[in-house]
Amino acid sequence: MSRGTTVAREAGAAAQLVALGLQPRLRPAADGAYLDLVTRYRSDAAFRDVVDHVADGLGLTVLDADASGVVLAPRTDSPFALRLGDYRANLSVNERLLHGLIHVGIAAYCYPTPASLLDDDVRVCSVAAVERFLRDAAERLRERHGDDDPDAGQPELEQAWRLYLRRQAVRETADGRAGVSTTSGMVKYALERLADQGFMTKLSDAEGGTYRALHRYRVEVRELAAVEAWRVLAAAAPAREG
């Protein structure tokens, strides 16, 4: 086999692994080829380098690779980066702030300390629990900062938690569902999207929907742990068990 053929096959195998990693619900245990490629990535430094370069060329970073699969993070310039229009169409500026706050809040609820990002404990959350967590954190921030409207130059986080407190937590629609513009409705939507993307798995409909965080979500949140908003929310919320 010529060197050119070998290089081409390695590049093809690397691209296959990246493509598998872009299917977040797929697990190596259910796909023999995927498992073989993940094993190679972990044990073969030369192959790992090829995979990392292929991913980089697509605007992706390999965050982790283990029995649960390959975890990829897109850069903002990547064709695989999530756009706001892909997340939810026609969001107002305030709604964008709220959805951003909610995603940071889910991360802070599941992993409230740096140590929690390193353990293997099962993390479970629900729509109702996350909504209470965020509302309690926002109330504490209001106690600390007062009710005055934020200045234009203040951080987006401060604007977001103030907006959160102005929204109703629950308002049922005519068919009995939670209103999508309420904070509970927004939390529900965020958790459903995380499940769609393979970061959560739904356990039941209890408390508006109860979900278990998967390993790939923990890996993603490790990247978020350097963000100030995660630290502020984790610190502001009341202490809880688990």
pLDDT digits (tens), the chain, 242 positions = 555 667 889 999 999 999 999 988 888 988 999 999 999 999 999 999 999 999 999 999 999 999 889 999 888 778 777 665 677 777 888 888 899 899 999 999 999 888 888 888 899 999 999 999 999 999 998 888 776 666 555 567 778 888 999 999 887 655 555 567 899 999 999 999 999 988 999 999 999 999 999 999 999 888 777 677 888 888 887 666 54
Q: Which residues pair with 211 in a beta bridge?
A: 125, 202
The whole-number pLDDT of residue 47 equals 95
List phi, psi (to 5°) of 205: -95, 5
Q: What is the pTM of this model?
A: 0.80
DSSP designation for 172: B
The dihedral sign for the CA sequence 39, 29, 221, 241: negative
Mapping DSSP to helix (H, G, I), strand (E, B) and coil, where does residue 103 land? helix
Task: Quote the pLDDT of residue 172.
Answer: 61
**What pLDDT score was predicted for residue 127?**
97
Task: Answer for the pair 217, 156: CB distance below 8 angstroms, yes or no.
Answer: no
Structure-token pair, residue 49: 């380098």
pLDDT value of position 150: 61
Residue 191 has a pLDDT of: 96
Give the pLDDT confidence score for residue 149 in this predicted structure.
Answer: 65
Task: Count other Cβ atoms within 10 Å, centred on residue 61.
Answer: 14
Give residue 92's pLDDT.
86
Residue 186, exposed/middle/buried by CB under 10 A (0-12, 13-18, 19+)? buried
pLDDT of residue 186: 94
- The C-alpha angle with vertex 157 and arms to 64 and 233, in degrees rounded to 5, equals 60
Distance CA 100, CA 87 (A): 11
Q: Map out the domains of the chain as residue ranges.
A: 3-74, 87-236
- Centre a 10 Å sphere on the Cβ of residue 69 and count the other Cβ atoms it contains: 27
Which pLDDT belongs to residue 242? Answer: 47
